[in-house]
Amino acid sequence: MAVKKSTTKRVVKKASKKAPAKKKAVAKKSVAKKSTAKKAVAKKAVAKKSAAKKSAKKTTKKVAKKSSASTIVVPPVPRGGISTSSRVNVTTTPAPVKSAQASKPSVAPKQGTSKTVLSAVVVGIILLAIIVWSQSGSKNDDGAMPAPSMSAEPTAEATPSTSASAESSATATVAAVEAPSKFVALNSADGLTLRWIAPTATDGLTGYNVEIRANGKGDWNVIATVPANQLTQSVTKSDTTGWTQFRVTSVYADGQTASAAVFGIAGVFA
């Protein structure tokens, strides 16, 4: 009997030891299941929140687009004041449609161009009719009214004052007058060669007068008139008696003259 009791006690002890271990394992399994279930629920909640946020953002973007595309048209206020029947119409017509309509070419410029061309044609026809009418009227009135004569008008040639003014304008006064310089005489085979240098004042210069005077008395005699580009003149010796003075003078368009220095040489020259 003592042996049986000890064995029963051992069995009871073993059973008691096994029972808490099994309870602990079951408790651990239940805790793990609860934690996994909680994690799954939390993930589902987070996913729902993110989906809700995305849908809210999409709806706000759509509302913003609709509000930006919509235009508010307010009717004009009548003169008598704002009536109770005035309403605010909200149209949701997008802006690109208006810009597309505005970009369409209008027919107004073509109509204006056609009107301008038509008016120009009408004016041309009226002018042509006036010209034809005036020509026909002048032909019909030839016998009644004589044409004006050009000989009845006074001419500039008939008045001597106009001719004098024309001559005075042609011969304007020369501002600067100057005599030739370095007037000399060089011996030649039959007489002398007179030579000089042109003056610096050449505006209005027409030529030179070559003059001589016998024995330094009496008037000067012009023996040659040469152009402005000629600077020499030959004289012939005819006699050895007496002596002769020589002079060269610049001549300008207005009649003014300027003489170079005078010198004399023995003999008679012409």
In a domain, 251, yes or no: yes
In a domain, 80, yes or no: no
pLDDT confidence of 93, banded at 50, 70, 90? low
13, 45, 69 - which closes a domain: 69
69, 97, 120 - which closes a domain: 69
Mean pLDDT, residues 237-252: 94
Q: How does pLDDT run across 32-67, given as a tens digit for each residue?
A: 777 777 787 778 887 888 777 777 777 667 656 665
| pLDDT value, residue 42 | 79
More confident residue, 265 or 143: 265
pLDDT confidence of 233, banded at 50, 70, 90? very high
In a domain, 62, yes or no: yes
69, 97, 127 - which closes a domain: 69
User: What letter represents residue 15's amino acid?
Assistant: A
Maximum average pLDDT range among 105-114, 120-129, 165-174: 120-129
Domain that holds residue 238: 181-269
Lookup result for tokens 């024995």: 215
Mean pLDDT, residues 201-212: 94
Q: In whole angstroms, what is the distance from residue 130 CA to residue 118 CA?
A: 19
| pLDDT value, residue 136 | 63
pLDDT at 148 > cutoff 50: no
In a domain, 208, yes or no: yes
pLDDT at 202 > cutoff 80: yes
| pLDDT value, residue 13 | 64
In a domain, 164, yes or no: no
3-state secondary structure 132-150: HHHHHHHHHCCCCCCCCCH
pLDDT at 156 > cutoff 80: no
222 close to 174: Cβ distance less than 8 angstroms: no
Q: In whole angstroms, what is the distance from residue 128 CA to residue 121 CA?
A: 11
Within 10 Å of residue 258's Cβ, how many Cβ atoms?
16
In a domain, 214, yes or no: yes
In a domain, 150, yes or no: no
Q: How does pLDDT run across 5-32, given as a tens digit for each residue?
A: 566 666 556 655 655 656 666 667 777 7
What's the CA angle centered on 183, arms 177 and 187, to 5 degrees? 155
Please count the structural domains in the chain.
Answer: 2
- Sorted by sequence, the CB contacts under 8 Å of residue 58 that are 6+ apart come out as none
In a domain, 13, yes or no: yes
CATH of the domain at 253: 2.60.40.10
pTM higher than 0.85 = no
